């Protein structure tokens, strides 16, 4: 479902290592971690009936440009389900930064 219903754009394609690493990290997450990610990326704690296929708008992943490298955190625009994801040096770094971002409850990061 993730590959079919998640749209990579603006710096990412379905073949990009950063996008594929994100998909792998999401698949490997525990249930509570996935719920936190969903809340972070969409502002909702659960998917609509029918799952990702019925999420509107679709989850879109774009490459976050700028300084910071591996220390830069992902950011989102929840209104349009837009995940701005830096290109990290490894899948492990991506996982750490994504979990860090999704666990920062009550924080607002505007980018």
Residue 44 catalytic?
Answer: no
* Selected catalytic residue, list 66, 67, 68, 79: 79
Nearest to residue 80, comparing CAs of 26, 10, 20, 18?
10
Which residues are known to be catalytic? 79
């Amino acid at each position: 479902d993730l590959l079919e219903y998640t749209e990579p754009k603006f710096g990412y394609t379905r073949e990009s290592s950063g996008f594929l690493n994100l998909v792998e990290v999401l698949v490997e997450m525990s249930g509570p971690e996935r719920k936190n990610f969903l809340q972070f990326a969409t502002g909702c704690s659960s998917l609509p009936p029918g799952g990702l296929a019925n999420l509107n708008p679709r989850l879109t992943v774009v490459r976050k440009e700028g300084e910071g490298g591996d220390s830069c955190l992902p950011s989102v625009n929840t209104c349009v389900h837009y995940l701005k994801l830096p290109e990290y040096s490894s899948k492990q770094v991506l996982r750490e930064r994504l979990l860090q971002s999704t666990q920062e409850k009550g924080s607002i990061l505007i980018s």
